Amino acid sequence: MAKARFSRFDCSPGCSVEAAVGLIDGKWKSVILFHLLSGTLRFGEIRRQIANVTPRMLTNQLRELEEDGLVQRKVYAQVPPKVEYSLSPLGRTMEPILLALKGWGDANLGLYGKPKHASPAEGVANEKGEEGRQAA
């Protein structure tokens, strides 16, 4: 089993959540796992599906996922080397969680990157208030 990245899990409320999130923390891990739900992929295929990830970051994230037992890496003895990644049985148990995250994301995608105003009317009122203060 992989080493714990946290110095302790004291079994206080939430420690199992901390442990679970610790396995998929990182910008790309959950995205990689989601793409591997569809089946085995080679490094280049994963990279094409996740356009903004650098090769180094993808390599690091795949290594950590493999170390944690969520991803299996199969190397074929040929030239050039062929390496395939797939979900391990443990990684496959993440499927309902990843699908739930996708569902939530699909339902709330419109909120991503927008200002945190309670309503558009408040945003307009704040802008007018700031203009009024600047003019004074």
What integer pLDDT is reported at residue 133 of this predicted model? 47
Residue 114 CA from chain centroid, whole number? 20
What integer pLDDT is reported at residue 40 of this predicted model? 97
What integer pLDDT is reported at residue 11 of this predicted model? 58
What integer pLDDT is reported at residue 136 of this predicted model? 44
Helices 29-36, 55-67: inter-axial angle, 10-degree rounding: 80
CA distance 38 to 35: 6
Q: Please, is 90 exposed, middle or buried when counting C-beta atoms within 10 Å of its C-beta (0-12, 13-18, 19+)? A: middle
Task: Reply yes or no on domain 16-106 having CATH 1.10.10.10.
Answer: yes
Domain ranges in the chain are 16-106
Based on its alpha-carbon atoms, the radius of gyration of the chain, rounded to whole angstroms, reads 21
What integer pLDDT is reported at residue 75 of this predicted model? 94
What integer pLDDT is reported at residue 9 of this predicted model? 52
Low-confidence ranges of the chain (pLDDT < 50): 1-2, 122-136
